[in-house]
Chain A
Amino acid sequence: MAPAPSSEEPLSLYRTMWRIRAFETKVGELFASNRIPGFVHLSIGQEAIPTGVSSVLGPEDYITSTHRGHGHMLAKGADPRRMMAELFGKSTGYCKGKGGSMHIADFGLGVLGANGVVAGGFPIAVGAGLSCKLRGTRQVVVCYFGDGASNRGPFHEALNMASIWKLPVIFVCENNRFASTTPVGYSTSVGRIAVRAKGYGMPGKSIDGNQVLEVREAAREAVERAREGEGPSLIEARTYRFRGHFEGDPQRYRTKEEVEKAIKRDPILLFRRELMKRGLLDPERDREIQEAAQKEMEEAVRFAEESPLPAPEEALEDLYAGDVGQAAGKGGLR
């Protein structure tokens, strides 16, 4: 029998956070043992943000994601098997092995793509917002970005444009305190990135990004505002990246003590404590949830490993949607 929605809803958030954690942990292990190629950027420690945000989005809503985007994808409902297959470079992956970790998308779920360029998502999110407005829908767009991206030009152009047209865009800053190796205090002119919203005439809120319910509340408010045609919002969710910028990062820019201290505020542990306090979670249910997440990601790895690699000549496919006539000769386009 299904539990009452009031208790199931927070547990579903908890489950999503564990699913992201399990996926990321698995990817870290696979990368360390050379089983997946390329670069990977893990979001361990930041799970509360996409979990809270996506919990107030509908399937028709859009997101733009970043190079640290696995959590954004999973929270929006992506299939971890196809994600994992993409990380393995397999033909069953979301992008048939053409994108990899930094370029996963599922347009069917409204995920308009992770992005290898820091701040690459801002203008796309504005365009998606403009499209919602032109088509007269009630869809909204969430644009995830990091503290580093808030210092790039596209942030400023996009916030201004979204504001003058009152577009349904929610700019969600995952301030994890480091732009690669550069501390936010060094790189950023303001102590709170949320205050930049003021310069663009929109509400800005700085919240504890490790408290999933706080994220959810801020997101709910911003999404409602956007759906009502009142325009964009900026949410700065303060968090901390537990892992390096990339797997293999020597992390000379911070001390072990600093990281250990941050890990004490693990968003999953904070939420677990809260759920237990409220009597919504007991140790047995907790173990079930963790084991289910673990099992799901192991299955994703199995799926990925058993999937075929793409045929090499598929490198020449998928570039153009339309006819390219004589250019499509032997040996690929020229």
Chain B
Amino acid sequence: MSSRELTNTEAMAEALKEEMERDPSVFIIGEDLTAHGGIFGQFIGLPEAFPGRIIDTPISETAIVGAGLGAALTGMRPFVDLHFADFVTTAMDEIANQAAKIRYMFGGQTKIPMVIWAPDGAGLSAAAHHSQSLEAWFVHTPGLKVVSPCLPYDVKGLIKTAIRDDDPVVFFMHKKIFAKKGPVPDEEYLIPLGSADLKTEGSDVTVITYSIMVLHAMEAAQELAREGIRVEVLDLRTLWPLDWEAVARSVSKTHRVVVAHEACITGGVGAEVAARIQEELFDELDAPILRVGAPRVPHPFSPPLESFILPGPQNIMEAVHRIMETEI
């Protein structure tokens, strides 16, 4: 299959363009979409290509998400841009109480084909209101699906699938990966929700991760390879539904597991994955599962403060070293 190098921004715009061409019920709604093609340029070219289907809104997150929901209930397929993941709190009722529950509460009468897309993550000295990784809230909320990919191939394939999905999908992309490049096939393809991907194969330790930490884990894996430690990096891509088979396959191969995410460790997605591994695969483990993530503190502004709390390749390497030292 022939391919080109695209950034995540370009991969995302391409996915949206293809889906909007394919299905006239798809539209994009959110703040500041048309003037600059979105704050990360993720919608560049779309307002011109699809007049009236890229809808700028007032700063009214409650009404924006709710409008997406109301449209989804009446035959449309909205793609809602939340501007920053942190602002999700101002639309939490619409997401957690309404979109997540409406199908169930009403006995399966309807479907909610809606994507709620938000840039998340830290590392830009944006401080505590523009830096969070809040995926655990949504993984904890029945009725939602949660996606958080890292590389352009995954971003494009998963955006297309999320748009076609008949359930509400919360889709996070880390702010620092927008310019990240990677090969994207010329031909159309889809990636099913709930499918993980091995980014690096190894036999000693599995690092289970997603979003920007995939890059950090791949970097750590490269360093560790020089020491002879073969790390397997499993990119979950979708956080719910979880690709449990892929997790189990890798754990049964390496028997040592590190879970890593940028969000704070406490109550995080990593805790859920670790708990399930020890419940179902305890006999496969040669060492306790270690977690890498941020401490339970808001994101500080000043660069040395922020980098102090953010997990990176070094933290993953330390965890791998610790786990390799564990005596069986």
Contact = CB atoms under 8 A, between A and B. Distances in A.
Interface of A: 62, 64, 93-99, 103-107, 112-113, 115-117, 120, 122-132, 134-135, 141, 153-154, 157-158, 160-161, 164, 317-322, 324-327, 333-334
Given A127-B68, A127-B71, A322-B166, A327 B240 contact: yes
B107 A123 contact: no
Given A96-B107, A161-B63, A129 B70 contact: yes
Contacts of B113: 321
A157 B70 CA distance: 14
A325 B106 contact: no
Contacts of B276: 334
B253 interface: no
Given A117-B93, A320-B143, A327-B241, A123 B67 contact: yes
B97 A120 contact: yes
Shortest 8 CB-CB distances between A and B: which pairs?
Answer: A123-B66, A127-B70, A318-B108, A95-B107, A327-B241, A157-B63, A321-B166, A96-B107
Interface of B: 27, 29, 52-53, 55, 57-58, 60, 62-63, 65-76, 78, 93-94, 97-98, 102-113, 142-143, 145, 165-167, 192-195, 240-245, 276
13 contacts: A107-B106, A120-B97, A123-B63, A126-B67, A130-B76, A158-B63, A318-B103, A319-B104, A319-B142, A320-B145, A320-B167, A324-B145, A325-B194
Given A117-B97, A161-B63, A326 B244 contact: yes
Nearest to A139: B74
Nearest to B242: A327
B98 A99 contact: no
A154 B107 contact: no
B74 A128 contact: yes
Given A99-B105, A131-B74, A322-B166, A124 B98 contact: yes
Given A112-B74, A324-B241, 5 more contacts: A94-B107, A123-B69, A125-B70, A318-B104, A325-B243
B74 A95 contact: no
Contacts of B108: 96, 317-318, 321
A153 B91 CA distance: 11
A95 B104 CA distance: 8
Contacts of B242: 326-327
A141 B63 CA distance: 15
Contact of A112 (B58, B60, B70): B70
B27 A117 contact: no
Given A124-B98, A131-B75, A321-B111, A105 B106 contact: yes
Contacts of B110: 105, 107
